[in-house]
Structure 1
Amino acid sequence: MLKNVEQTIKELMSIILNVDVEKIDDSTSMDNIPGWDSANQINIILALEEEFSISFEVSEFELMVSYFDIVQIVGAKI
């Protein structure tokens, strides 16, 4: 199941950040994707909440700064 979650997260991030899905891996972060700014951070969070029917606490937003971190946080909620 987690592989499907990981792939879905990659696909959402790819669309929002306008990056090839193949380029998204555990090292993908706000530091190395120029289009990953605060506005797109919110877009990613909203897309994840809608896709997985989950909610994030505001305190979690600042922890979601890489693909790896996002997978860990989403995985803990589903």
Structure 2
Amino acid sequence: MAYVTIEGETYEKELLELAKQHTTGRNEGNLSKDEVLDLMSSAKDGPGVTDTELKTLHYIRSHFPFTDAAATLFDKEIASL
């Protein structure tokens, strides 16, 4: 597992790259519901969601744009972790 440090905090590189991938490119911008599910699936790929993965998800929530429906789904998914 690879990590990246942003402003002294450690985050999971794979999750950040996935969020960037989903928000860049042609006709992109906001994370959609399907992309939120993709992020959650990536975070849940091991025996559980690690503290670093959870911190990374919170970082994504506050630093990436979401559609309204995706934001609602993301918040619901985070609350269930």
- Pick the TM interval, shorter chain: 0.3 to 0.5
Query: When you count helix as a share of all residues, which structure comes out higher?
Result: 1
Asked which structure has the greater RCO (Cα within 8 Å, sep 6+), the reply is 1
Larger radius of gyration: 2
TM-score (norm 1): 0.35
TM-score (norm 2): 0.34
